[in-house]
Chains A and B, each alone.
Chain A
C-alpha cells in the first residue's frame, strides 16, 4: 500500500503540487496555548503522544484555538477581553494574518470554522449594548470581517459547528462584562445563560435555557459529537453550598439532561468546569475542574460518572480515541481513560485552559 508521504512525494515528482495540508505541519494532533517560565505566551502543536511539534509566539495570553478543517492553519484567539486572533501557518510557523475585533467588540477566546473552511465564526462581545454577537470572518480571503449576527444571548463564550454543517451551537454564558471593568461580572443577579442554535446566516433555530433556579449556572464550553450530541460545561456563579450539576447533554430540539457525579466527588469540582470533551468511540464525556484538581468522565448514554481522577490544575481536555488527553497548568500532559492514567509527560510550561483536537482526514 502506498504511504501518504510516498504518495505525496510521487505527486511532487510528477509536478503536481497539492496545497499543503495538515500532514505538512507534521500532523499535529492537538493545539494548545501555554505560558513559558519567562511569562511569554505561545501556541503549541502536540502529537498524539504529547510531544511538542512546534511552538509559535502569541502577543498575549491565549485561550483556545480553531483548526482549519483542511489547511494546516490555526486561529489562536486571545483570552477575553482580548481583541486579537492570530492566524498561524502551522507548516512555516509564520503569522498569516491577525484578526482585530472591530471597535466596540472583543473576542471571547473561541471560534469555529464552517465545514469547508471558508468562514470563521467567532463569539464577540458588543459590550456597549451588552449583547453577544457572532462575528463572521472570510477565511477564504485573508480573514476580512464580513459581518456579524446576534448570538441569541449575553456573553457568548464558545461556539461549535454541528455535523450537519449548517448549524452552529453557541454557549451564551449569560454574564455581562465590559472591558473597562476588566473581568468583573456585571449582572450576576439577573444573568440568564442559554444554548442557542443558529444557521450560518444567523437565523435562530433553537434555544434552550435551564430551570430558573439555575440561572446563575453559566453555560460556557461545548463539545459536539458526530451524531449531533452537544455536551456543555458550566460554571456556577451562585452560592457555593448549592452544588448544581456542571455538565449537560443536549440535542437540537430536545431538552437538556444534566449530569453530576455522586455527591462527594461532585463537590470536589468546586462549582467549576473549565473544559469539556466528547469521545465518540467510547461514548464518554469528560469535564475538568482546575479549582478542584479533578477530571470526571461520564457515560453519555447512562449518565453515570465513570471516574474522577485527581490532577493539580487540570484544565485542557480532548478526545484521544482510547481515552482523553488532559493538560494542566503544571505542564503535565497525560492520557487517561475511565480506568486511570495511561501515561504522562511534563513540559516546562503552563498549559492554558484548552486543548483543541485537529480534525484530520
Chain B
C-alpha cells in the first residue's frame, strides 16, 4: 500500500514538467498588449477633447480602437488589472441588472459635477465608467439626443480620461513590478515557482475561452425558447462577433506560446483555433441578431461548440504539459 502511494505521488509530480517560456510571454504578449491599450486609450482621451459629439466619426474610431486593444488583453485578468477592480472599471459587462444605463441616467439627470475632476470621476460606480458606458453615450439613441448635450460632452471626456488613466496605471504596474515578478518566478512571493507563473498564464487562456463561450456567445443565445440578441456584447456598436474573434486571437497567441516545446499540443491548438476562426469568418451576423431564427441560432451554436472544442484541447493537451490537473472535478468543479 505504501508503495502504491509513493508511485502515485511520483506520477503526479511527473506531470508538472513546465519550462514554459514565461519571460518570453511577458515580453512578447503581455507588455505589447498593455502598451497598445495604454496608447490607444491615450489617443481616445486626446480625441475626446475635440470630438465629444456622439456621431463624431473621430470619437467613434478612437473609442473602437481602444476597445479593440482591451479585448485583445481582456483574458489577462490577474495582477495589475485586478488592483482596485480596474478591469471592471474598463469593461463592466455583462451588466445583468442594467446598472450602466441606470447610473448614466442618474448622472445626466443630476448634471452631476463629479465629471469635473479625474479624482471625482474615479469614485463613480464602475457601471458608469469604461468602454461599455461610453458605448451608450455614443451609440444608444436614449443617450445621444439633443438633451443635455453639453453635460454629455463633459461625461464623454471624463470617461475617456478615466479609461486612459486606468490603462496607463495597468501598464505602469506591469512595467515597474509585475513583469519582473513573473520573469523571476521562484524568487518572489507572488510566484514561488516557475510552474506557478506558467499556471497563471494557463488559467488566463482557459478562463478567457470560457468567458467567450459562456458569456460572449452564451448570453445572446439564451435558450431556444427565449433567445436574447440584445444581450450580445457591444451590439449597439455592432462589435459582438468582432469581440469573439479578437478575444480568440488573444488567447490563441498566449496558448501557442505556452505550448512551446510541445509540438503535439501546439498542433492540436492550431487546428482547433483554425476551425473556430473559419466558422466565425463565415458567420454573416456581426451582432448575433440571427439567434432568433433556428438557422441563425444554429450558426452561433456551431461557433460556441468550436470554442468549447478549443477549451477541451487546452484542458487535455496543454494543461498537463504545465502541471495543471485535467481531472473530472478539477476542470469543472462547483
User: A264 in the interface, Cβ–Cβ < 8 Å?
Assistant: yes
Pair B78/A291 contact, Cβ less than 8 Å: no
Instruction: Chain B residues near A189: list those with CB within 8 A.
Output: 85, 88, 92, 126
A310 and B218 CA atoms in complex are apart in Å by 36
- Specify the chain B residue showing the minimal Cβ separation from A272: B333
Take A182-B218, A290-B327 as given contacts and tell me if A274 and B333 are in contact as well, using a CB distance cutoff of 8 Å. yes
Pairwise interchain contact A313-B96, C-beta atoms closer than 8 A: no
CB contacts (< 8 Å) of B211 on chain A: these are 184
Interface-facing stretch out of B2-10, B48-56, B166-174: B2-10
A291–B203 Cα distance when bound, in Å, is: 11
Distance between Cα atoms of A186 and B99 in the complex (Å): 12
B27 at the interface (CB under 8 A from A): no
Q: Which of B82, B97, B219, B329 contacts A181 (CB 8 A)?
A: B219
CB proximity to A under 8 Å, residues B295-334: 325, 327-330, 333-334
A234-251 vs B, CB cutoff 8 Å, 1 = contact: the mask equals 010011110000000000
A313 to B332, CA, bound (A): 11
List B161-199 residues whose CB lies under 8 Å from chain A: 190-192, 196, 199
Establish whether residues A313 and B226, one from each chain, have CB atoms under 8 Å apart when the complex forms.
Answer: no
- Which B residues are CB-close (under 8 A) to A106? none
Tell me the nearest residue of chain A to B213, going by C-beta. A182
B222 contacts the other chain (CB 8 A): yes
Cross-chain contact B327 with A312 (CB below 8 angstroms): yes
B327 touches A330 (CB 8 A): yes
**B94 touches which one: A63, A186, A239, A340 (CB < 8 A)?**
A186
CB < 8 Å neighbour of B1 from A157, A240, A264, A344 = A344
Q: Tell me if A183 is interfacial: C-beta within 8 Å of chain B.
A: yes
A98 to B24, CA, bound (A): 55
Q: Does B200 contact A (CB under 8 A)?
A: yes
B215 beta carbon closer than 8 Å to chain A: yes
Q: How far is the CB of B190 from chain A (nearest CB, A)?
A: 4
- Interface check B79, CB cutoff 8 A: yes
Task: Tell me, yes or no, whether B236 is within 8 Å of chain A by CB.
Answer: no
Query: CA separation between A343 and B2, bound complex, in Å?
Result: 9
Tell me if B223 counts as interface (CB < 8 A to partner A).
yes
For B327, give its contact among A181, A270, A329, A343 (CB under 8 Å).
A329
Chain B, 78-105, CB within 8 A of any chain A CB = 78-79, 82, 85, 88, 92, 94, 96-97
User: Is the C-beta of B111 less than 8 angstroms from some C-beta in chain A?
Assistant: no
Identify which of residues 175-191 in chain A touch chain B, using a CB-to-CB cut-off of 8 Å.
176, 178-184, 186-189
CA distance A291 to B226 in the complex (A): 35
Question: CA separation between A240 and B82, bound complex, in Å?
Answer: 10
- Contact A241 to B330, CB < 8 A, known contacts A180-B219, A312-B12: no
Question: Are A239 and B333 neighbours in the complex by a CB distance under 8 Å?
Answer: no
A181-B214, A267-B196, A312-B8 known; A329+B330 contact, CB < 8 A? yes
Residues of the B chain whose Cβ atoms lie less than 8 Å from the Cβ of A351: 328-329
Q: Is the CB of B5 within 8 A of A241?
A: no
Interface residues on A, range: 35 or more
| Contacting residue for A352 out of B196, B226, B329, CB 8 A | B329
Contact B223 A293 (CB under 8 A): no
* In the complex, chain B residues 1-52 whose Cβ is within 8 Å of any chain A Cβ: 1, 4-5, 8-9, 12
B223 touches A130 (CB 8 A): no
Q: In the complex, A179→B222 CA distance in Å?
A: 8
- Complex-state Cα separation, A293 to B78, whole angstroms: 23
A68 at the interface (CB under 8 A from B): no
- B275 within 8 A of partner (CB): no
Contact partners of B327 in chain A: CB under 8 A: 290, 293, 312-313, 328-330
Say yes or no: is B228 at the interface (Cβ < 8 Å to chain A): yes
Chain B residues with CB under 8 Å of A183's CB are 214
Among residues 132 to 148 in chain B, which have CB atoms less than 8 Å away from a CB atom of chain A? none
Indicate if the CB atoms of B5 and A341 lie closer than 8 Å.
yes
Cα separation A301 to B10 with both chains bound (whole Å):
33
B334 and A264 form a contact (CB under 8 A) = no
Contacts of A123 in B (CB 8 A): none
Q: Cβ of A341 and Cβ of B1 under 8 Å apart?
A: yes
B-side contacts of A310, CB under 8 Å: 8-9, 12
Q: How far is the CA of A157 from the CA of B334 in the complex (A)?
A: 9
Q: Are A353 and B329 in contact (CB under 8 A)?
A: yes
Q: Which residues of B contact A330 (CB under 8 A)?
A: 327
| Interchain CA distance A274-B222 in the complex, whole Å | 28
Q: Give Cα A179 to B200, complex, Å.
A: 28
CA distance A240 to B79 in the complex (A): 8
The answer to whether A311 and B8 have CB atoms under 8 Å apart is: yes
> With a CB–CB cut-off of 8 A, which chain B residues contact A340?
5
Provide a sorted-by-A list of 19 A–B residue pairs whose CB atoms are within 8 angstroms. A63-B334, A130-B96, A179-B223, A181-B214, A181-B219, A182-B214, A189-B126, A220-B334, A238-B82, A270-B199, A290-B330, A291-B330, A292-B325, A293-B12, A312-B8, A313-B325, A314-B329, A344-B1, A351-B328
The 7 A-B residue pairs with the shortest CB-CB distance, nearest first, are A313-B327, A329-B328, A290-B329, A315-B329, A290-B330, A189-B88, A329-B327
Q: Give 8 new A-B contacts, CB below 8 A, not counting A311-B8, A329-B329.
A: A189-B85, A267-B196, A274-B334, A291-B333, A312-B8, A312-B327, A344-B1, A353-B333
